[in-house]
Amino acid sequence: MTLDLSVYSELLLALLPELVLTGWSLVLLIFVAWRHKTERDLRIAGWLTLAGLASAAVAVYWLWWNQTGIEGLATMVAADDFRWVADWVFIGAAALTVLISFFYLERERLLVPEYYVLLLFATLGAMIMAAGADLMVVFLGLELLSVAVYVLAGLDRRRARSAEAALKYFLLGAFASGFLLYGIALVYGATATTNFTLIGTQVSISGTSPMLLIGLALLIVGFGFKVAAVPFHMWAPDVYDGAPTPVTAFMATTVKAAAFAALFRLLITAFSSVPAWHDIVWWLAAVTMVGGNLFALGQRSLKRMLAYSSVAHAGYLLVAVTAGGSEGTGAFLVYAVAYTLMSLGAFAVLSAKGRSGESEVLIDDFAGLGTKRPWLAFAMAVCMLSLLGFPGTAGFIGKWYILIAATNADQNLLATILVLTSVISAGYYLPVIMAMYMKPEPIEAAHVDVVLDRWARLAVTAVVVGLLLFGVWPNRLFQLARTAGASIQPITTTTTALPPGASQ
């Protein structure tokens, strides 16, 4: 099915998943304005959120099944396999976040059904970012995502640390948005367009200019803040530590994946003929992998360790960006699926152990968990091993695919750094497993209250099954990722004409 975006009805069809999710968001907004006081109201809001996410997933599947594409130039939004797969990652992460949020919000007495409205709006922003074929569309999606997450980070108004997290994230997020917007302005000044395809065509014909290079550098800086790459990561540990744990899980997965999805489409489509960004991203990837892992080594708080671990994983994904092409894009999608599962699973088990945001839960606090709560300990062990990249898990498959893409792109040194830093990460992932299985519990009742409700257990079970299944049978995921990666192609002057009035 080919859509002509100049026809209004077909443009709406191209935006069907986003429109469905918007409709459900408005329904949920009306509901929480009417009922917002009891635990039952909170539960109903959560189930409405899951219904909205399921409806959006069906819409995405329908467009993907019908092989939807764009006729001619993708003016504002793209319709390709890359977008559909990225949407499934966002929707899946949001659905798992809802399942682990039911019990958590009730236990912490956070009877705020607006939480689910913000979660839907954040997911909508992520989907718009993945669909954006224009810098302004990407910026609108990014701001929708960011504003919702700013509020989610400070949801627990009784804790000063949560308020601090929201304020830090807002200030540095606004700073990053300024970089992005100024970069967009300079790119527009150099090319007279904000459309990815037309930027790529203009650059391939006229070459680069200082204004364009500065604009591109500012765009990379802005995205560097959003994905928490070193040295733009300074906000991540405090924000991840202070936010409610399900929110932290959502931020570490969906926000990061959305920023990378937009970055891939931007660099491959618009700036494929500008070699300068490869060197910038190369150094960014190397410093992020080394810095994130070394910072994580010194952490005793499990939540802060996972926060710095998230920084390191941003470095692994930047290796895929540096590799570029269809292989790099496919590697990103495979690793995004794996990282979403293992990160959400780890934060879900952490939420069972802690109280008041889990900021004070140390790695040693998990001592003896394997004896008292064998299922939770096994789930955490699988997540830790997958984050480490242990064979037989989805994390290993994801890293292996990134290494293949890097070596095929002659990025051998970067691939070596990835392997070495993954070895370093054993220094903070394995102590969690050692504490659970090789240390006795400090007191007899240490893990009596470590529980998850049935829906959170369902989410953790799905995560463990997914990590082990993709670890031993990744063929279907590989095929889907390769197809999606190949759907984003660099622009050549022979395939796209400049718009009337554009400078030659």
d(CA 77, CA 73): 10
104 within domain boundaries: yes
DSSP 132: B
Q: Which residue type, as a one-letter code, is found at position 249?
A: A
Among positive and negative, which fits the CA dihedral 5, 9, 15, 16?
negative
In our burial notation (b when 16+ CB lie closer than 10 A, e otherwise), range 43-77 reads ebbbebbbebbebbbebbeebbeeebbbeebbbbb
Q: Any idea what the Cα angle at residue 450 is, between residues 449 and 452, rounded to 5°? A: 115
Q: What confidence score (pLDDT) does residue 495 get?
A: 44
Look at the alpha carbons of 53, 59, 61, 63 in this order and tell me if their dihedral is positive or negative: negative
**Has residue 202 been placed in a domain?**
yes
For the chain, helix (H) and strand (E) counts, in that order, are 21, 2
Say which DSSP state 271 is in: S
Taking CA atoms, 232 is separated from 139, 148, 172, 176, in Å, by 19, 21, 9, 9
Structure tokens at 278: 């490869």
Q: What pLDDT score does 491 carry?
A: 64
Residue 193 lies in a domain: yes
- On whether residue 496 sits in a domain, the answer given is no
Task: Report the pLDDT value the prediction gives residue 107, as an integer from 0 to 100.
Answer: 86
Q: Is 419 exposed, middle or buried (0-12, 13-18, 19+ CB in 10 A)?
A: exposed
The series of mean pLDDT values per 10 residues for the chain, 504 residues long, is: 81 91 93 83 91 95 88 82 93 94 87 91 95 92 93 86 88 89 93 90 86 93 91 88 91 93 91 86 93 90 91 93 88 93 93 73 86 90 93 93 92 93 93 90 75 89 94 90 84 47 40
d(CA 439, CA 448): 17
**What was the pLDDT predicted at 428?**
92
* Two tokens, residue 90: 């966002």
Instruction: Give a yes or no: residue 497 inside a domain.
Output: no
Residue 500: inside a domain: no
Nearest Cα to Cα of residue 385 among 348, 340, 350, 422: 422
Tell me the C-alpha to C-alpha distance, in Å, between residue 279 and each of 217, 276, 323, 353: 11, 6, 11, 43
Distance set, CA 405 to CA 312, 394, 485 (Å)? 18, 17, 12
Q: Is residue 501 part of a domain?
A: no
Instruction: Tell me which residue range forms the domain holding 346.
Output: 2-486
Q: What is the pLDDT of residue 494?
A: 44
Distance CA 269, CA 207 (A): 15
CB 70 within 8 A of CB 3: yes
Looking at residue 111, its pLDDT comes to 84
pLDDT at 272: 84
Classified as helix, coil or strand, 362 is: strand
At 34, the amino acid letter reads W
Q: Is residue 494 part of a domain?
A: no
Do 107 and 235 meet the contact criterion of CB atoms below 8 Å apart?
A: no
Q: Which pair of tokens denotes residue 472?
A: 């031993």
For 113, the token pair is 């059904």
How many separate domains does the chain show?
1
Q: What is the pLDDT of residue 100?
A: 93
Task: Evaluate whether 64 touches 81 at the Cβ level (below 8 Å).
Answer: yes
Check residue 496 and give its pLDDT. Answer: 44
